[in-house]
Amino acid sequence: MLELGRSYGELVAGFRWNLPAQLNMAQQVCDAWAAREPARLAILDLSGGDATRVSYGDLRCMADALAHGLAARGVQRGDRVGVLRSQSAWTAAAHIAVWKLGAVSIPLFKLFGPDALRARLDDAGARLVISDAEGVGLLDGFGPDVLVPEETDLPDAPFDAALTGPEDPAVLIYTSGTTGAAKGALHGHRILTGHLPGVVISHDMLGQAGDCLWTPADWAWIGGLFDVAMPGLALGVPVVAARMAKFSVRDCLDVIAQGGVRNVFFPPTALRMLKAGDARVQGLRSVASGGEPLGAEMLDWGRRAFGLAINEFYGQTECNMVASSCSALFSPEPGFIGRAVPGFDVAVIDDAGQPSTGEGDIAIRRGAASMMLGYWNKPDATTAKFRGDWMLTGDRGVIEDGFIRFLGREDDVITSSGYRIGPAEIEDCLLTHPAVATVGVVGKPDPLRTEIVKAYVVLKAGLGPSETLADELACHVKARVAQHAYPREIGFLDALPMTVTGKVIRKELKARATREREITT
């Protein structure tokens, strides 16, 4: 889709979405390659401990068999089917099989508790769940029937993919639900095509000889499934599947070495853990990261640790991979998350829905291929997501010379003494202090200043909280960020509240800060 050797400006000017009338992701990620090069490596599966090479021909046979098994259990076009599995070749085959039927797959996290799983399956009206032995236990006592491919006698026969189009529903991905009940973002078969340009440039033109793609992120997250697994398969880039019940620096380095990984998507939390472990990784060609801003300090560390620039990308479940850095095309700007990916019109708009030259709402113009069809069974929420022709991300930012600076979630921006303060820059600064492992910054209600900046800090192992350290951290920010933006209060916690994708749940920290204010008044 994007030609090597062309400049960023040329790629943007020459880009057009090419969506055929008939489009099925099963063909894109599996059947087309299996027809041309059945022996080509699709997935290097390390999930069972030993390395198993799965070709496109193998993957097609697995998906076809599973599609027959689903059809035998009554799954039809449009039905919703849960996929409750970790990274593995069978996980990829499960989604492919569902798409072959013209049904809708629902990625599900094993880290979800029973209430979260029940809520999603009930809301979706799921007919069946594809899982494994562990998943069967998680679903014990509720939910639809469960099919375990490894334990099921599946037919060995071809299965042709249904004739579907770009707008036909294919995948239902639930948001993390940090601002209320989780909503299901329904996507059509064009979602994969919509991800490809951003995935390519975030990995400095992915698809070069020797490329091999992996992420520690679970494939139940859009970042694992559609930023790595399915784009890699569609582009013919081998994908490593490695189950990591809990991220560890040693296991991460082992996977990279054993899998011959050259291209990695690291969520920010993984990067912080690698940094805390003083990890060094040789031999990578590209490192991409997304989910929340990294900041200049983390980017500087990345150059030292990997010998290359980390390319940040930006998007969300409703419309992903809309902006990215790409060191192969342009020099990254510290403090910015990159530029609009070719094919996406990203702007900062005002309350009237007009592009703004100052701070405003980050938004994406309708027509992007990775944009959702809408929220599942929530037409009012879908309508509220848009302002005219623009889909609102819920993030605040500014655009300078085409580069996008993320200021914070709309409800995360701190108003203090008339200043509007984004928490990301303060968090980034605190992470440069040698005592800080991780941090979350929120506004705490204050009668004089409206809000004050409050930082909740998790210290590195072996260190303990103290008033002296709190003062030191406040001065650290005051000297490096701004006199008005330093944290006037610092609280020390053993752990921060996190979503299953590793994002700090600022809503919970905000509620904690509000309770603290109420107790002292």
What phi and psi, each to the nearest 5 degrees, are found at residue 481?
Answer: -110, -70
Task: Output the pLDDT for position 327.
Answer: 95
Q: What angle do CA 95, 100, 104 make, to 5 degrees?
A: 55
| Distance in angstroms (rounded) separating the CA atoms of residues 348 and 394 | 11
Tokens of 226: 């559609």
The pLDDT tens digits for 150-166 are: 999 999 999 999 999 99
Burial zone of 55 (CB within 10 Å; 0-12 exposed, 13-18 middle, 19+ buried): middle
Task: List Cα–Cα distances, 29 to 93, 99, 240, 452, in angstroms.
Answer: 10, 11, 15, 50
Q: Show pLDDT as tens, one digit a residue, over the chain (521 residues).
A: 688 889 999 999 999 998 999 999 999 999 999 999 999 999 999 998 789 999 999 999 999 999 999 999 999 999 999 999 999 999 999 999 999 999 999 999 887 778 778 889 999 999 999 999 999 999 988 878 999 999 999 999 999 999 999 999 999 999 854 344 679 999 999 999 999 999 999 999 999 999 999 999 899 989 999 999 999 999 999 999 998 878 899 999 999 999 999 999 998 878 988 998 889 999 999 999 987 778 788 889 999 999 999 999 999 999 999 999 999 999 888 788 899 999 999 999 999 999 998 999 999 999 999 999 999 999 999 999 999 999 999 999 999 999 999 887 776 778 786 566 778 778 888 999 999 999 999 999 988 777 899 999 999 999 999 999 999 999 999 888 777 789 999 999 999 998 766 778 888 999 999 999 877 75
Contact 73/145 with Cβ under 8 angstroms?
yes
- Return d(Cα 289, Cα 293) in angstroms, integer: 9
Q: Provide the token pair at 220.
A: 């139940």
Query: Can you give the residue ranges of every domain in the chain?
Result: 20-189, 412-520
| Residue 1, CA distances (Å) to 311, 388, 454 in order | 19, 29, 45
The DSSP result for 85-141, as a single string, is --SSHHHHHHHHHHHHTT-EEEE--TTS-HHHHHHHHHHHT-SEEE--HHHHHHTTT
**Fold agreement (20-189, 412-520):** no
Domain 412-520 CATH superfamily:
ANL, C-terminal domain (3.30.300.30)
SS3 sequence of 309-344: CEEEEEEECCEEEEEECCCCCCCCCCCCCCEECCCC
Span 20-189 CATH architecture = 3-Layer(aba) Sandwich (3.40)
- Evaluate whether 173 touches 284 at the Cβ level (below 8 Å): no
What angle is formed at CA 397 by the lines to CA 395 and CA 398, rounded to 5 degrees?
Answer: 160
pLDDT in tens, 441-484: 999 998 877 789 999 999 999 999 999 999 999 999 988 877 77
How far apart are the C-alpha atoms of 347 and 483, rounded to whole Å? 30
What pTM does this model have?
0.84
Contact (CB, 8 A) for 8 and 339 = yes
Strand partners, 223: none
Cα-based torsion angle of the residue sequence 416, 426, 324, 310 in order, rounded to the nearest 10 degrees: 180
Are 241 and 46 spatial neighbours (Cβ–Cβ below 8 Å)? yes
